[in-house]
Amino acid sequence: MGLKQLRQRAGLTQVKLAKLTGIAQTTLSGYETGRYDVHSMTLDNALRLSRALECRPDELTDGYPE
């Protein structure tokens, strides 16, 4: 399961996730679409996302690319 699936499973839009994490919605979109490599995201972003999505940081990259 990758970032998009984890976000959808949590019932969050990109906008809501952006507000929860402080990560720009455009950055989240870039990770989900492959414009930005999720394997290269900062540790800070990975931790923010994993906390908000209640998952391990390594789960954010599973299923990439989609």
Q: What is the pLDDT of residues 2-49, one digit of tens each?
A: 899 999 999 999 999 999 999 999 999 999 999 999 889 999 999 999
Can you tell me the mean pLDDT for 55-59? 89
Question: Does pTM top 0.85 for this prediction?
Answer: yes
Per-residue pLDDT at 63 exceeds 70? no
- Burial, 64: exposed, middle or buried (Cβ in 10 Å; 0-12, 13-18, 19+)? middle
CATH superfamily of 3-55: lambda repressor-like DNA-binding domains (1.10.260.40)
Kindly list the domain boundaries of the chain, sorted by start residue: 3-55
